[in-house]
Amino acid sequence: MKRAVCIALAAAAPLLAQAQETTLRVVSAFPENQFYVKRTIEWIDKINREGKGVLQINFIGGPKAIPTFEVGKAVQSGVVDIGFTTGAFYTNVMPEADILKLSETSAAEQRKNGGYELINKIWAEKANMRYLAKVVEFTPFHLYLNRKIDKPDLTGLKIRITPVYREFFQSMNASVMTTAPGEVYTALERGVIDGYGWPIHALFDLNWQEKTKYRVDPGFYNAEVGLIMNLDKYKSLPAKAREYLERQALAYERQNDFWKSYNQNEAKRQAEAGIQTITFDAATSKAYVEKANEVGWANAIKASPQYGPQLRKVLAK
């Protein structure tokens, strides 16, 4: 009898170990053919290789699985565990999400100056989320156009936006239209828009260089792409799985210097593809960037009188 119990326990041991392994479901708000997503899938592959028996991640897909602007809600409600997205795509969960674009301090600095804790306080309280890591930064946004301008005036132009650019482009009299990245190519092809806001990089991933004539320099703000997780799921993880996930997320974030050289090369590629730059005189350029920041913070504080000013302390320099 005793022996039988021993044998039964021995047989169950691997099953018990397996029961400790957690599997998380991840979706991307960016199209799967974007380099961002490929890089994230490589990160997931590494997690799965090294995390056997502890943590596995199942990549569900891009906007075909969950539409770009619904990923935040899916993470908030726990329909998925983790979202790969940017704050501008989940302002329908909380307006604070889009404020991260105003970061002048780096993710590494925000881990030290209280920024990371503040972000997680807000994300937990208002969105039922844990902000795991920022994995794109050091990346300005630009205005791309198919019509030439000689001053920062967009009167009569229809520009594709997300919340990132709305108030800034409207302050230059643009008429604006919000779309997910996956719809920009067709809008350009059909001439529905005269331009769009987008980072300095990742144009080629979606072939937009084929339909783009000009880039306005300088850029403004600082693109943020991150990994957000359902807070209940995060809290329910076994300690070992949570530590492992956090370690891997931090290791991914620590590679962000990668974007500095990548972006230089992307600007070069744009020039080689025939995209011309539109620049203004020095005073106008300076005013352009200052206006972006002014409009950005004014809107952030209006949208979140409670947290806008607190975020400013840790994000601005």
Q: By C-alpha distance, which of 32, 4, 20 is closest to 206?
A: 32
The reply to whether 199 sits near ligand 173 by the rule CB under 6 A is yes
The reply to whether 168 sits near ligand 173 by the rule CB under 6 A is no
Which residue in 157, 188, 223, 278 binds ligand 173 (CB under 6 A)? 223
Which residue in 28, 76, 86, 256 binds ligand 173 (CB under 6 A)? 86
The reply to whether 304 sits near ligand 173 by the rule CB under 6 A is no
Least Å from the CB of residue 88 to ligand 173: 4
Least Å from the CB of residue 164 to ligand 173: 4
Tell me which long-range contacts 171-176 makes (C-beta under 8 A, separation of at least 24). Answer: 171/291, 171/295
> With contact defined as beta carbons under 8 Å apart, do 227 and 132 qualify?
yes
- Binding span for ligand 173 by CB under 6 A among 2-10, 146-154, 170-178, 195-203: 195-203
Which residue in 225, 228, 229, 303 binds ligand 173 (CB under 6 A)? 225
**Is the peptide bond between 218 and the residue preceding it cis, with omega within 30 degrees of 0?**
yes
The reply to whether 110 sits near ligand 173 by the rule CB under 6 A is no
Q: By C-alpha distance, which of 69, 60, 53, 56 is closest to 13?
A: 53
Amino acid in position 235: K
- Binding span for ligand 173 by CB under 6 A among 11-19, 41-49, 191-199, 282-290: 191-199
**Kindly report the CA angle at 68 between 64 and 74, in degrees rounded to 5?**
90
The reply to whether 71 sits near ligand 173 by the rule CB under 6 A is no
Calpha distance 100→296 (Å, rounded): 10
HSE-CB at 243 with a 13 A cutoff on CA atoms is 4
Least Å from the CB of residue 22 to ligand 173: 29
The reply to whether 164 sits near ligand 173 by the rule CB under 6 A is yes
Which residue in 27, 37, 75, 88 binds ligand 173 (CB under 6 A)? 88
The reply to whether 85 sits near ligand 173 by the rule CB under 6 A is no
Between residues 33 and 284, which has the closer beta carbon with respect to ligand 173?
33
Least Å from the CB of residue 225 to ligand 173: 5
The reply to whether 162 sits near ligand 173 by the rule CB under 6 A is yes
The reply to whether 188 sits near ligand 173 by the rule CB under 6 A is no
Size of the residue set binding ligand 173 (CB under 6 A): 10
Beta bridge partners of 178: 161
Between residues 78 and 218, which has the closer beta carbon with respect to ligand 173?
218
Least Å from the CB of residue 184 to ligand 173: 8
Burial 185-213 (b: 16+ CB within 10 A, else e): eebbeeeebbbbbbbbbbbebbebbebbe
The reply to whether 198 sits near ligand 173 by the rule CB under 6 A is yes
> With contact defined as beta carbons under 8 Å apart, do 228 and 72 qualify?
yes
**Cα 178 to the center of its chain, rounded Å:** 16
Helices and strands in the chain: count of H runs, count of E runs: 12, 11
Calpha distance 151→147 (Å, rounded): 12
The reply to whether 34 sits near ligand 173 by the rule CB under 6 A is no
Give the interface with ligand 173 as residue ranges (CB under 6 A). Answer: 86, 88, 162, 164, 181, 197-199, 223, 225
